[in-house]
Amino acid sequence: MYTTRSTLLRRLFNNDEIAWEEFFDSYKELLYSVVLQHNIDPAAADDVVQQTMIAVFNGGHFAYDKNKNGTFRSWLGGIVRHKVIDYLRKCKPTEVLKDDDIADDFSGADELFMKEYRQHVLKLAIDEMRSLVTPEAFEAFQLCVLRNMSDNDAAELLGAKPNTVTIRKRRCLETLRKIIARLNLEDPELELVWP
């Protein structure tokens, strides 16, 4: 799978600097999106994401232990949730934030993280699909599926026949569905669906 690939995790355990950059590039958008869902302003969200990454690499070493922490996704979701709570406690020192209030505010945090995680994995699946199809097919997919343009309008824009655009779009969708099926097989809890 994209985000919890065992090879990437092994490289992180071995303090591979390139793996750290790959990890950061892969996860920063996901974490940022999750943090913003808690009504934290964008500048502060960057700080919370940085604090999350620091916790992931506790003392300069990759802190995840599958036997101790369970699934990587749940562990990462827990870290970002705790960093958001830490931030909220620091930024509102005049308010008394009780543990019960925080628990109420974060009762849906796991579901929120999973929703954002699914979006993250779906973007990666689309990137994989893009690498497997022709540029022309991806253009048709992008226009018709991602931008909701009709096949006829896309054909006119691309200088192609409408039937050609329809066929290219279908090939992309078939490829994407196979990728999604594989990802769901690898991680049954993911339950990724194409909208």
Condensed to tens digits (0 to 9), the pLDDT of residues 165-181 reads 999 999 999 999 999 99
Q: For residue 15, which phi and psi values (nearest 5 degrees)? A: 60, 35
Q: Which residues contact 139 (CB under 8 A, 6 or more apart)?
A: 158, 168
194 within 8 A of 146, measured Cβ to Cβ: no
Confidence of residue 1 (pLDDT cuts 50, 70, 90): very low
Burial class from Cβ neighbours inside 10 Å (0-12, 13-18, 19+) for residue 75 reads middle
Q: pTM, whole model, 2 decimals?
A: 0.75
Give the whole-angstrom CA distance, residue 128 versus residue 162.
Answer: 25
Does residue 10 register a pLDDT over 90? no
3-class state of residue 61 by DSSP = coil
| Residue entry with tokens 């409408």 | 162
Give the whole-angstrom CA distance, residue 21 versus residue 17.
Answer: 6
62 within 8 A of 15, measured Cβ to Cβ: yes
DSSP type of residue 134: -
| Dihedral sign of CA atoms 172, 178, 180, 182 in order | negative
Give the whole-angstrom CA distance, residue 159 versus residue 7.
Answer: 43
pLDDT tens by residue, 135-147 = 999 999 999 999 9
Does residue 74 register a pLDDT over 60? yes
